[in-house]
C-alpha cells in the first residue's frame, strides 16, 4: 500500500517527482491511487501500467488517472515524471469543479488512463513546476490557490483533446456552456433587459430550461441571478458614483425613481438614500 505524503494529508494536494514517490513507497513501483485523483506530467518516456494494462506514454504528455486504480510505474532514466495528487475535497469548490473531476478525464469508459499532449516540455518544467515551488516557499494559502488553478489549467487544456461531439453529448457541459453565455449576455444587457425570457431568447432556449440549467450549475433560478446582478450594480452605483438617485435609476434602466427605490428596498431592506 502506498504511504501518502504529509503534504497530501495536510492539504489534500501534493506534487512530487517520481523518484521521491517510489522511495517513499519502500522502492516499490506498484501502488494504488486510493481515493485520490492523479495527474502525471511526463517529461520523459515511461510505461504506465494501470489495472494490468500497459500504456506507453511519450515525453510531452499528461496522463489522468482516477481513484482506486492499481498503477505500476515503468523504469525511467531520470525519473523525470511529476505526480500531482489531490482529493475531491481539495478540488471541489463549485459545481464546475465537480463536473471537471467527474468527467471522462478521470472516469473514461474506454480506458483507465486519459492522455493529452502539452506544447513545450521546458515551459512545463519552468513555468509550471518551478512556479509551484516558488509559491510553496512563499505562502501556504497562495500555494493552495496556485495548486487549484494549476490543476484547472491542466484539465482545461486536456479538454481540448476530447472530440467536440463527445463533450456535446454530456448534458452537464452543455449546461456549463449556456450558463456561462447567460452570464456574459447579462453583463452586457442588464441595464436594458431584466426578464428571463429575454436571455432565454438570446440563447435560443426556453425560460424554463435556462432556469433548470442555472439551478443545476449555480443553485439559483435565472431570475435570482438577474436580480443579484441588478442589486450589486445598484449598490455600487449608489455608493461610488456622484449621480443623484434619479440619475442612477435612469442609468440602470428603471422607469422612474419610485420603481428603483421599491426594488432596492425589497431586495436590501434599505432605501437608496441610506446607501448614498
pLDDT single digits (tens) 30-78: 999 988 999 999 999 999 999 999 999 999 999 999 998 999 999 999 8
CA distance 44 to 75: 11
Q: Which of 235, 204, 231, 207 is nearest to 221 (CA)?
A: 207
Contact by Cβ (8 Å): 154, 91? no
Q: Which of 218, 198, 220 is nearest to 207 (CA)?
A: 198
Name the one residue in this structure whose C-alpha cell is 452586457: 188
Q: What does the mean pLDDT of the chain come to?
A: 88
Grid cell for residue 222: 435565472
Using a cut of 0.75, tell me whether the model's pTM lies above it: no
pLDDT at 1: 40
Which positions ≥6 away from 227 have C-beta within 8 Å?
267
Neighbours of 271 (CB within 10 A): 13
pLDDT tens profile 147-163: 999 999 899 989 888 87
Name the H helices within 160-195: 164-168, 171-189
CA distance 73 to 80: 12
Q: State the DSSP code for 184.
A: H
189 pLDDT more than 70:
yes
In the chain, % of residues over pLDDT 70: 94
Q: Which of 25, 50, 19, 29 is nearest to 115 (CA)?
A: 50
Q: State the DSSP code for 48.
A: E
6 pLDDT more than 80:
no
Name the one residue in this structure whose C-alpha cell is 517529461: 43
Q: Which of 94-98, 99-103, 200-204 has the highest mean pLDDT?
A: 200-204
Positive or negative, the CA dihedral 16, 115, 135, 34 is negative
CA distance 52 to 169: 30
Q: Which of 148, 48, 67 is nearest to 105 (CA)?
A: 67
Amino acid at each position: 500500500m502506498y504511504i501518502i505524503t504529509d503534504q497530501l494529508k495536510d492539504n489534500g494536494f501534493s506534487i512530487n517527482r517520481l523518484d521521491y514517490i517510489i522511495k517513499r513507497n519502500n522502492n516499490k513501483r506498484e501502488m494504488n491511487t486510493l481515493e485520490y485523483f492523479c495527474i502525471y506530467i511526463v517529461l520523459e518516456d515511461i510505461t504506465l501500467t494501470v489495472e494490468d494494462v500497459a500504456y506507453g506514454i511519450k515525453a510531452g504528455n499528461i496522463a489522468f488517472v482516477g481513484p482506486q486504480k492499481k498503477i505500476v510505474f515503468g523504469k525511467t532514466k531520470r525519473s523525470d515524471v511529476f505526480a500531482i495528487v489531490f482529493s475531491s475535497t481539495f478540488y471541489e469548490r463549485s459545481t464546475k469543479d465537480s463536473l471537471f473531476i467527474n468527467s471522462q478525464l478521470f472516469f473514461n469508459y474506454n480506458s483507465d488512463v486519459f492522455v493529452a499532449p502539452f506544447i513545450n516540455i521546458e515551459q512545463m518544467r519552468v513555468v509550471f513546476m518551478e512556479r509551484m515551488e516558488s509559491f510553496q516557499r512563499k505562502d501556504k494559502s497562495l500555494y493552495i490557490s496556485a495548486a487549484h488553478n494549476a490543476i484547472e489549467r491542466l484539465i482545461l487544456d486536456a479538454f481540448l483533446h476530447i472530440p467536440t461531439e463527445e463533450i456535446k453529448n454530456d448534458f452537464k457541459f452543455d449546461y456549463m456552456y449556456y450558463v456561462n453565455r447567460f452570464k456574459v449576455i447579462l453583463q452586457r444587457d442588464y441595464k436594458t433587459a431584466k426578464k428571463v425570457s429575454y436571455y432565454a431568447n438570446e440563447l435560443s432556449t426556453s425560460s424554463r430550461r435556462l432556469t433548470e440549467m442555472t439551478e443545476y450549475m449555480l443553485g439559483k433560478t435565472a431570475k435570482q441571478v438577474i436580480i443579484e446582478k441588478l442589486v450589486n450594480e445598484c449598490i455600487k452605483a449608489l455608493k461610488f458614483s456622484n449621480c443623484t438617485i434619479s440619475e442612477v435609476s435612469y442609468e440602470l434602466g428603471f422607469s422612474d425613481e419610485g420603481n428603483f427605490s421599491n426594488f432596492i428596498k425589497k431586495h436590501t431592506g434599505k432605501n437608496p438614500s441610506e446607501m448614498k
